A and B are shown apart, each in its own frame.
Chain A
């Protein structure tokens, strides 16, 4: 069965510092990968996704993630965070040619301090 591991439950950083949120998945077949963000008291929003093509995907607010098939990873990065980036970040995987089920990681709480 597929699983998603987010090793860091909490990541505290100062504003304008770089950040990396790690995500590893376990699957020997093709997968689709997603990062979702949940701001305080709000619903889930898609941050970015990898379906095919370029292994580096970017979001409109400066985040990027790189699909690394050999390391089965999809780490999320941002070169300079803002206080408004404080949120819970979830990595999720869906297996190609399977159901539409999303398997979520346990989440990483990004806390940005001034």
Chain B
């Protein structure tokens, strides 16, 4: 199994600022994933973070808005830039489910409110 520590757990940010979310895994993994869960909705994959290469973004998400770092095999950060109220969501990091484990493991999430 994998234990994922994600922080901050929540934050309230002003419009136009940025928030960086950190994700630490207790074992080495090749790929880490960042998801967004908008209020009352399901999870949408933002990007896949591979160690040693650029992140791969899903349709509708761009690097300028969601820059990702992956400095080593246990850590990643997601920055949400130039915040607007529409960015208010829960952001989750994840590992798995198959290349490394037989299921996906998720962090507890970061609840972001933009005011």
Give me the interface of A with B, judged by CB distance under 8 Å: 32, 34, 42-44, 46, 49, 51, 90, 92, 94, 99-107
Give me the interface of B with A, judged by CB distance under 8 Å: 31, 33, 41-45, 48, 92, 94, 96-100, 102-104, 106-109
Minimum Cβ distance to chain B for residue A11 (Å): 16
A32 in complex: contacting residue of B33, B98, B100, B106, CB < 8 Å: B98
The B contact surface, by secondary structure, is loop
A32-B98, A100-B48 given; name 8 further pairs at CB < 8 Å. A42-B108, A51-B102, A100-B99, A102-B43, A102-B94, A102-B97, A102-B104, A107-B41
Minimum Cβ distance to chain B for residue A25 (Å): 14
In Å, the complex CA distance between A99 and B45 comes to 12
In Å, the complex CA distance between A43 and B109 comes to 7
In Å, the complex CA distance between A42 and B92 comes to 12
